[in-house]
Amino acid sequence: MSGGGFDAARFSGAVPRAYQTYLVPLLFAPYAEVLTARVMAHRPRRVLEVAAGTGVLTRAMASRLPSDVEIVATDLNPSMLDHAAAIGTARPVEWRTADAQSLPFPDAGFDLVVCQFGAMFFPDRPGAYAEARRVLRAGGTFLFSTWTSIAENELAQTVQATLADLYPDDPPRFMERTPHGYHDVEAIVRDVAAAGFPARPRIDTLTLRSRAKSPRDAAIAYCEGTPFRGEIEARGAPGLEAATDAAERAIARRFGAGAIDAAMRAHIVEAAR
């Protein structure tokens, strides 16, 4: 999931497959159900998704929205979008490579714009939100999610701490810096206002459960299915396998050696056009 200016190559190569196989069920599928229910409540006729990644929210919407609702799913990263299109959807979806900060669509063309866990990657969030506002019809809704602090997301915090111990001189900080770096509610409110939305957005903070079959699956999700992978590989020894092994051990110590059940927490934001 990426937006304008973000280094999309960090979500290429082996990352999209590991992301879809391990990270999507661990983190994104539960919130996709929540966002899809929110989308359905607005009864849109035309939906634009930005930063669609490998399409977990797209597939949920395609399965549950009425068949005559048009869905356009976009992402800046062709590798992620190609993976999404290859998995497919329950009914036709239009896939487009697009920059969330410069959308290739005319004004007022959509009833709802939705973005699941992509806003954290936008270098210019008010600019991206203004683009969402531009392509919305009067009375339309911009709906997006963003993670709360890493301290409130148990698996992410465990892996981040493990990698900091493994690389004490130059700890990888991707998870803390980016996915969990945009959690301040008042900062979100200011960015939405700067984009031209006329009223304070509705922001609900929702805790769900992050589940995996094993500590190994959870470790692979974070170390190999996110840009943590590139940060680890750039640091050399002890390397990706050792980092994944260390994360697996830390997760097992905290959550047990069997199936994993951990808390994760995110903001759900709705801004009216």
Give the Cα separation of 34 and 234 in Å (integer): 36
Who wins on pLDDT, 17 or 108? 108
**Per-residue model confidence as pLDDT tens digits over 23-32:** 999 999 999 9
> What is the rounded distance in angstroms from the CA atom of residue 76 to the CA atom of residue 88?
18
Residue 142 pLDDT > 70: yes
Interval 150-172 mean pLDDT: 96
From CA 135, how far away is CA 48, in angstroms rounded? 9
pLDDT reported for residue 14: 62
pLDDT digits (tens, 9 = 90+) for 80-137: 899 899 999 999 999 999 999 999 999 999 999 999 999 999 999 999 999 999 999 9
Q: Pairing state of beta strands 94-97 and 70-75?
A: parallel
CA dihedral 260, 1, 185, 44 (to 10 degrees): -100
Residues in CB range of 52: below 8 A, 6 or more apart? 1, 58, 73, 74, 75, 80, 81, 84, 95, 116, 118
Residue 111's closest CA among 143, 140, 83, 85?
140
Share of the chain above pLDDT 90, in %: 90
Q: What is the pLDDT of residue 168?
A: 95
By the 8 A CB rule, do 8 and 52 touch?
A: no
Tokens (6 digits) for 99? 């920059």
pLDDT in tens, 55-70: 999 999 999 999 999 9
pLDDT of residue 19: 87
Question: Can you list the domains of the chain with their CATH numbers?
Answer: 8-150+174-210+263-272 (3.40.50.150)
**Given this model, what pLDDT does residue 18 score?**
85
Report the chain's mean pLDDT, rounded to a whole number: 94
Residue 1: is its pLDDT beyond 80? Answer: no
Cβ–Cβ < 8 Å for 19, 225 = yes
Of 13-17, 33-37, 131-135, 241-245, least confident by mean pLDDT is 13-17
Q: How many C-beta atoms lie closer than 10 Å to residue 94's C-beta?
A: 10
Q: What pLDDT score was predicted for residue 47?
A: 98
273/255 Cα distance (integer angstroms)? 43
The pLDDT, as a whole number, for residue 13 is 58
Residue with tokens 């697009």: 98
